[in-house]
């Protein structure tokens, strides 16, 4: 485990209840933002008390839980609030591919949270004015866009190759992603993107961790005590031009054999992964429709009760990667992704979220996101490919999925 240079050997953590702070994102004092916010509730953090960096490997979730357990277990914690997200918290993002050395968890020096009518501030160490605005957010300007790892024609060719493998019976589904690059005149401020994403997609989870910023509709897992929740999303169409067009598109999506097949793969995998960990598990037989400002998804909410005390990271380990972002069978789909995508996804489509010292937490799948590196950003979009997939239609879907982050950058 690598600790920040300012971290003491033993963390001293104090949480106090505070008056309603108002908009959480607006309280972030500088661009190095940590956030997990939905409908105005959640947690934001800043500063760095400790950092855990993990190499690739199948045991990275267990290793993260172990290292955080040692760090939090040795901490001196004063937390009279005692709710999920109070006390010491680590924000994190894991690489999509186990071979990718991209996983990181950050324990911030300050965390501001609000949930269910209560608000709190957690401070590690001493900070006389933790909410002082160090630097006001500045929108990105003079954006210059460029292509990613594959040209549009090459990516459509990759989809066609994947369809051929599927029709040969080698696998049932694979998710192929694209990337897109942009450069701004000045360093890109994560707070600006968070603000725009949260305003446009209040029902999604606006997140920021170590340069990865986005708004995901997909809740991989939430653990609150012994209860767990997940939201499976697979099968997508764009919103219509009016209410009638919306309704027709939603009906076509719900009745689409291709999309229902794609969704079924994802829902069954989540059920099969959670069942051994739960004493009770409720998975709907038929998906419902989730309507966002730009897209409509097939969705299946899943709820369960853990059979014993497990950290949220233990459950994340059982779930990742889902067919919604990888495919099925998992190993075959992962190999095909490595062969056809022509890029390393980094933390795109990997788990992103937070975990506290009690093992509670919320983790989503890093979708509708971008990796920020100074003046540069790299956007991602992926599509589920099955036997009936059409390369041109999948390319159009990927272009639509870029829209959320493009609008967040362009304003």
Report pLDDT for 269: 87
Helix (H) or strand (E) holding 393, with range, is: helix 391-410
Report pLDDT for 382: 95
Q: State yes or no: is 173 an active-site residue.
A: yes
Sorting pLDDT into bands at 50, 70 and 90, what band is 292?
confident
Report pLDDT for 266: 84
Residue of 34, 15, 186 lying closest to 84 (CA atoms)? 15
pLDDT tens per residue across span 384-395? 999 999 999 999
Answer yes or no: is pLDDT of 9 > 70: no
Answer yes or no: is pLDDT of 78 > 70: yes
Answer yes or no: is pLDDT of 134 > 90: no
Rounded to whole angstroms, the Cα distance separating 235 from 203 reads 18
pLDDT tens per residue across span 350-398? 999 999 999 999 999 999 999 999 999 999 999 999 999 999 999 999 9
DSSP, res 252? H
Class of domain 12-127+140-410: alpha beta
| Phi, psi (deg, nearest 5) at residue 277 | -100, -10
**Which tokens is 171 given?**
């696998």
Answer yes or no: is pLDDT of 38 > 90: yes
Answer yes or no: is pLDDT of 128 > 60: no
Report pLDDT for 6: 44
| Phi, psi (deg, nearest 5) at residue 48 | -140, 105
Answer yes or no: is pLDDT of 315 > 90: yes
Mean pLDDT of the chain: 93
Q: State yes or no: is 41 an active-site residue.
A: no
pTM: 0.92
| Phi, psi (deg, nearest 5) at residue 230 | -145, 155
DSSP string, 144-212: EEEE-SS-HHHHHHHHHHHHHHHHTTS-SEEEEEEEEEEE-SSPPPHHHHHHHHHHH-TTSEEEEETTE
pLDDT tens per residue across span 163-174? 999 999 999 999
Share above pLDDT 90 across residues of the chain, in percent, rounded to a whole number? 83
Sorting pLDDT into bands at 50, 70 and 90, what band is 5?
very low
DSSP string, 34-95: EEEEETTEEEEEES-SEEEEE-SSTTHHHHHHHHHHHHHHTSEEE-SS-STT-SSEEEEE--
User: Pick the catalytic residue: 48, 102, 218, 394?
Assistant: 218
Report pLDDT for 207: 98
Answer yes or no: is pLDDT of 4 > 60: no
User: Pick the catalytic residue: 102, 173, 238, 262?
Assistant: 173
Q: Domain limits of the chain? A: 12-127+140-410
């Amino acid at each position: 485990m690598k600790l920040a240079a300012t971290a003491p050997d033993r963390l001293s953590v104090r949480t106090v209840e505070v008056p309603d702070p108002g908009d959480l994102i607006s309280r972030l004092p500088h661009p190095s933002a940590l956030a997990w916010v939905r409908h105005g509730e959640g947690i934001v953090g800043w500063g760095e008390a400790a950092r855990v960096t993990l190499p690739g490997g199948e045991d990275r979730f267990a290793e993260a839980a172990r290292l955080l357990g040692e760090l939090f277990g040795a901490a001196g914690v004063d937390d009279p609030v005692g709710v999920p997200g109070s006390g010491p918290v680590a924000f994190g993002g894991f690489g999509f591919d186990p071979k990718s050395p991209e996983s990181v968890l950050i324990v911030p020096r300050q965390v501001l949270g609000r949930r269910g009518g209560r608000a709190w501030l957690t401070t590690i160490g001493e900070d006389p004015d933790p909410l002082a605005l160090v630097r006001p957010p500045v929108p990105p300007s003079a954006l210059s866009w460029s292509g990613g790892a594959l040209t549009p024609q090459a990516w459509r060719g990759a989809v066609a190759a994947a369809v051929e493998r599927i029709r040969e019976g080698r696998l049932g589904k694979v998710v192929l992603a694209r990337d897109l690059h942009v450069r701004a005149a000045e360093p890109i401020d994560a707070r600006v993107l968070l603000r725009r994403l949260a305003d446009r997609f209040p029902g999604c989870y606006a997140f920021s961790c170590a340069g990865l910023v986005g708004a995901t509709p997909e809740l991989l897992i939430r653990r609150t005590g012994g209860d767990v929740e997940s939201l499976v999303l697979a099968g997508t169409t764009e919103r219509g031009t009016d209410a009638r067009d919306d309704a027709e598109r939603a009906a076509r999506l719900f009745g689409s054999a291709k999309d229902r097949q794609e969704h079924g793969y994802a829902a069954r995998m989540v059920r099969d992964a959670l069942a051994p960990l739960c004493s009770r598990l409720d998975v709907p037989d038929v998906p419902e429709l989730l309507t966002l400002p730009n897209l409509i998804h097939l969705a299946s909410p899943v709820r369960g009760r853990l059979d014993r005390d497990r950290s949220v990271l233990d459950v994340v380990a059982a779930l990742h990667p889902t067919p919604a972002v990888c495919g099925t069978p998992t190993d075959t789909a992962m190999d095909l992704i490595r062969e056809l995508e022509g890029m390393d996804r980094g933390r795109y489509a990997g788990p992103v979220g937070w975990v506290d010292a009690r093992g509670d937490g919320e983790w989503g799948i890093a979708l509708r996101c971008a990796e920020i590196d100074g003046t540069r950003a790299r956007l991602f979009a992926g599509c589920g490919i099955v036997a009936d997939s059409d390369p041109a239609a999948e390319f159009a879907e990927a272009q639509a999925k870029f829209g959320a982050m493009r609008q967040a950058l362009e304003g």
